[in-house]
Amino acid sequence: MFRRTKIVATVGPASAGPERLAALIEAGVNVFRLNFSHGSADDHRAVAEDIRRCASEQGRIVAVLGDLQGPKIRIARFRDGPVTLDNGAAFTLDTALDVDAGDRHRVGVDYPALAGECAAGDTLLLNDGLIELQVESVRGSQVNCRVISGGELSNHKGINRKGGGLNAETLTDKDRRDIVLAVSLEVDYLALSFPRHADDIHQARALYRQAGGQGGLVAKIERAEAVADPDTLDQLILAADGVMVARGDLAVEIGDAELVGVQKHIIRRARALDRFVITATQMMESMIHSPQPTRAEVSDVANAVLDGTDAVMLSAETAVGEYPLATVNAMARIILGAERTYQSRLPEPVAEPGITRSDEGIARAAMYLANHLEGVQAILAMTDTGTTPRLMSRIRSGMPIFALTPHAATRRRVAIYRGVQPLAFDSAGLAPEQANQAAVAQLLQRDLVHPGARLILTKGDAVNQHGGTNTLKVITVGDAGR
């Protein structure tokens, strides 16, 4: 069965190296994530080279996503190792404390503005929400707290304020350096951490383009401010090429009880606004140490698939886990099981009224035919930029969408779109009828379609033109030119 939902895997010590990467590609990874929060530039460069070499050897199309660290607000270090905070104990976050002087009573913070942005009554959450502190007073550089929910606390754990509102700038100096690194690595996508609004995406895109980057921008939705207002979220989605539901920090800021509904809303809005969406964080967390997922994790992955996410992402599971290959295999099985459970040929209603471009109209018409015309086996989209297959992928269908393009960068970019399978194809110099026949012949050779099947084919009269798709044909295998 053709797997429509894509798999993103984070590379780390457990998955780096040609043999491990090759095995993960063979198991079905579509996109590899390079986490710029960890590792050196040389490490990331070596991994990117290995990914592309292994993919080429297997004849697979695999994209690379570079993930900026962003302004994660963190505590400093403890003098004698991890400490245990007891419920009811006093604990101080001090922005002026030496970075190595932390103990069970206080610890330094790497964000000088923290004291000015907190007030008595605020709730601060440390270590992804596992430790909860209530602010009792603020004096100078000191934020004096009472431990509400304690536990072990180690170096460099993150700090969030419940409800959001900490105003660290989205792009740090490290991020600006890593944007240049991402350009040198020729990543296909660049993910921006902790954007608050659309302007953050526009700023990152401008810096990325100025440095020579040509990849797409992914907005990681992980701040309460990003989802507090529907228009803010929509504008943020529209400013990016795709979004990531980064459930770790988002859940800490908005609360676990709100997360599921917000996740579903983000997926729904991304699809309606013609952007791709990745669902991430703790999807198969138990498989860091276990060869089998829990039933709850199976349900979590399956529900994201049923909601229409383009991709599901593995983080620590493949970066540092004990069973990275088993995790990818399990995720692929769960995706296929979920995709078998709904009537995939029933179209979903188009949420956004109005069509402003010919390629959008062609894409919608193609998907309508795919879902209603008997005998259709596949959709062929001849494309330069990948825009038409992206628009097609927003509408549910059981039909595979083959993106035929001569450009390697476009093939990698479309690899993340739900239901889209990229193929190398160059129609330059061919008459229209010859191009149709050559495209069908390639699919026949790969055993992707069968004689007598109906195919829907879209293409444009002009090449290298954004939005140039203006032609739709229904053709029959064996009679492709007419």
Catalytic residues: 33, 74, 220, 281
Exposed e or buried b per residue across 85-100, where buried means at least 16 C-beta atoms within 10 angstroms of its C-beta: beeeeebbbbbebeee
Residues 203, 219: Cα–Cα separation, whole Å: 12
Yes or no: say if 328 and 9 are a contact pair by the CB < 8 Å rule: yes
**Half-sphere exposure (CA, 13 Å, Cβ side) for 454?**
13
What angle in degrees, to the nearest 10, is found between the helix axes of 256-272 and 247-254? 120
Distance CA 399, CA 95 (A): 56
- Which of 302, 322, 324, 305 is closest to 314 using CA atoms? 324
Radius of gyration of the chain (CA): 24
Which residues, 6+ apart, have CB-to-CB distance to 84 below 8 Å?
104, 150, 151, 152, 153
Distance CA 85, CA 264 (A): 35
Separation CA 432–CA 421 (nearest Å): 22
CA distances from 78 to 9, 45, 73, 102, 472 (A): 32, 33, 16, 4, 64
